[in-house]
Homo-oligomer: A and B are copies of this chain.
Amino acid sequence: MEYKTEEEFLKNYDPNQFDRLSMTTDILLISVSSKKQDNYRKTSKKMMSILLAKRDDYPYRNMWCLPGGFLNPKSETLEECAKRVLKKETNLSNIYLEQLYTFDDINRDPRMRVVSTSYIALVDKNRLDQKISENVSWFDIILYVEDENSVHITLDNGKINFSIEIKKRLKEKTTDRYQFVAEKNDHLAFDHSIVILSGIERLKNKINYTDIVFNMMPEYFTLGDLQQVYEVILNKKLLDPAFRRIIANKVEKTEKVQTGEGHRPSALFRYKK
């Protein structure tokens, strides 16, 4: 059939000629947690932490998963959907958000074909109310890189902890990405262990050429704290003078000082755009 105008064509268009599917967004809400040390002199240890929700429904009942939600195709974009989920979980609207990757293995959801676009969200924990939803919890991330091809992620929320081993397997040379393969695990639902690893790698990469790290920092921070966050994300120690040179033009010194730490007080800095 031949139409004269685009308008006429659209009026007769049948949207059911192609099979349809459901989409979701998954949110990697990442922040930094501090753990007080036994020794009163020592600075509190920093960790990367991530928000997980406990599933009380099938599928993957009683396992943990990334917060997420189904897209309403009629009324919202994926980013708006992600913001809606974030608002629900944190009660905040103004959170740094960036699209990570679209995961779409055919059997990633046992219910039906679901394609999921994941987003990284970075937040300073101090901005959050204590009272977040009941069935979500912050898990510290401990990353152990066994070798080039194998990574262990340990997640710990203070009450329970579990580890997942993820193998990186090179796909045929036509694709860029490693094929991440999670070993069978009884704690993380769907393909979310792979989403988490992808997000950590993105962060590790982007911290070097962007200022995203400041989305996880409070307004005033010491350079020691900032350096620890870098070290946690990059998963390696940095030398003080080198670090200070790198971030020198990204921060500005304030009049404020942090004392009461059992050692020389440190100046508080602020992010400079």
Name A's B-contacting residues (CB within 8 A). 3, 6, 9-10, 13, 15, 18-23, 57-61, 70-79, 94-99, 101-102, 104-106, 110-113, 115, 117, 173-177, 210, 212
- Closest CB-CB distance, A135 to chain B, in whole Å? 17
Residues of B within 8 A of A79 (CB): 175
Q: Is the CB of B73 within 8 A of A113?
A: yes
Smallest CB gap from A115: residue in B: B23
Do the beta carbons of B3 and A58 come within 8 Å of each other? yes
**Apart from A20-B73, A99-B101: 12 A-B pairs, beta carbons within 8 A:** A20-B22, A21-B21, A21-B73, A23-B115, A77-B104, A78-B102, A79-B175, A96-B173, A96-B175, A97-B176, A98-B175, A102-B102
A212 and B112 in contact, given A19-B73, A74-B19, A99-B102 (Cβ under 8 angstroms): no
Q: Give min CB distance, A183 to chain B, whole Å.
A: 20
In the complex, A208 Cα to B76 Cα: how many Å? 36
Which residues of chain B are within 8 angstroms of A110 by Cβ–Cβ distance?
Answer: 6, 10
Q: Which 9 A-B pairs have the closest CB atoms?
A: A20-B20, A9-B58, A98-B176, A21-B73, A15-B112, A73-B113, A18-B70, A102-B102, A6-B58
Q: Inside 8 A of A104's CB, which chain B residues have their CB?
A: 77-78, 117
Q: How far is the CA of A175 from the CA of B70 in the complex (A)?
A: 21
Residues of B within 8 A of A96 (CB): 173-176
Q: A118: shortest Cβ distance to chain B, in Å?
A: 10
Alpha-carbon distance between A177 and B119 when the two chains are bound, in angstroms: 12
Cβ B177 vs Cβ A98 within 8 A: yes
- A187, chain B: closest CB distance, angstroms: 15
> Would B212 and A111 count as touching, CB distance under 8 A?
no
